[in-house]
Structure 1
Amino acid sequence: MPVSPPVCDFGWKAPGFSLRATDGRSYALDDIKGPKGTLVMFICNHCPYVLSALDRILRDARDLQAMGVGVAAICANDAQAYPADSFDKMTELARKHDFPFPYLHDDTQSVARAWGAECTPDFFGLNADGELQYRGRLDGAGRNPAPDGARRDLYEAMAQIAQTGAGPRDQVASMGCSIKWKAA
């Protein structure tokens, strides 16, 4: 059953973190931060919403990085219950698709909880001051292939944030699979 996160809480300050990445390094939020903003995406390896849009996610990430926006992805799913989301499988996926950004493992799920992540994909677009300005969808295609010329909601919002520091007031929530939380 698809899950949608809440709409953007403009000005919310993103909490810091330090997580291990599939490239063997650890990254803090400050390491990822771009001079014109930051995009943090909660994704995972097995979610059909993520997999069907992965080519578009990678395209937008590369385009945003060229514009001065820092980008990272975080997998917070319970890898015990969902082995496809294990660190080793994350490393395989990042290498296979040549991720242009760090793919971070939130094995304790503390970052996902602190950020209020709810689904995969869940996009958090921050301005240069680390304030939330976008919490919307990638585009209108969802799990389907995007038609030629489809509006790139995430890219357009982040481009606006990079130029003005403020995100669009009208945003459509992302939709995806729920974060797979560990049993309490």
Structure 2
Amino acid sequence: MAATSTQAVLDTPAAEFRLEATDGKTYALDDVAGEKGTVVVFICNHCPYVKAVIDRMVSDARVLMSESVGFAAICSNDAASYPEDSYENMKRFAKAHDFPFPYLHDETQTVARAYGAVCTPDFFGYDADRKLKYRGRLDEGRTSPPHAGAPRELVEAMRAIALTGVAPADQKASIGCSIKWKDE
């Protein structure tokens, strides 16, 4: 079932984390943060919305990383109920799509809860001071590519944040599969 990211409280500080990545290393927010800003995106391996945007997301991440914006992806889904989102499958997914950024495993789901993540993909864009400035989508594409010449919304927002500290006021919510929460 599709879910839409909720309206965020801008200027909220980024939640700290320390998570294992698919490369076997452990990363904290400090390790992934960029000099000019940081993107934290919640994704998973099985979601059709993620599968539809993943190659554009990787391409845009490369652009942003080359412009001193840090980037990290986090999978928080319940792998017991959704085996395709297991840590081993995360490794395969990251390799298959040549991730240039850490793909982090939030097995306890505490990081997703701390960020208020709702769906996959769910993008959080922070300024250099790690204050939330963008809670929007990658672009207008959902399960199909955007039309030719469509704005690269995440890239454009993060460039504005890096340059001025301010994101565009018009932020369209991301839509995707709901986070697969563990039973309490």
Same-fold call, TM cutoff 0.5: yes
Q: Give the unaligned 5+ runs of structure 1.
A: none
State how far apart, in whole Å, the 2-side matches of 1:149 and 1:8 are. Answer: 28
Paired residue type of 1:3 = A
Alignment of 1:17-166 (within 5 A): 17-166=17-166
Contact 1:3 1:175 in 2 (8 A): yes
Paired residue type of 2:117 = A
Contact 1:8 1:171 in 2 (8 A): no
Paired residue type of 1:183 = D
Q: Classify the secondary structure of the residue corresponding to 1:3.
A: strand
How far is 1:79 from its partner?
A: 0.2
Runs of 4+ in 1 over 6 A off after TM superposition: none
Paired residue type of 2:134 = Y
Paired residue type of 1:119 = C
Paired residues in the alignment total 184
Deviates more, 1:67-76 or 1:158-167: 158-167
State how far apart, in whole Å, the 2-side matches of 1:15 and 1:52 are. Answer: 28
Paired residue type of 1:34 = G
Q: Classify the secondary structure of the residue corresponding to 1:125.
A: strand
TM-score by length of 2: 0.98
Computed over aligned residues only, the root mean square deviation of the Cα atoms, in angstroms, reads: 0.7
Deviates more, 1:70-79 or 1:155-164: 155-164
Q: Give the unaligned 5+ runs of structure 2.
A: none
Identity percentage of aligned residues: 58
How far is 1:9 from its partner?
A: 1.5
Paired residue type of 1:94 = A
TM-score by length of 1: 0.98
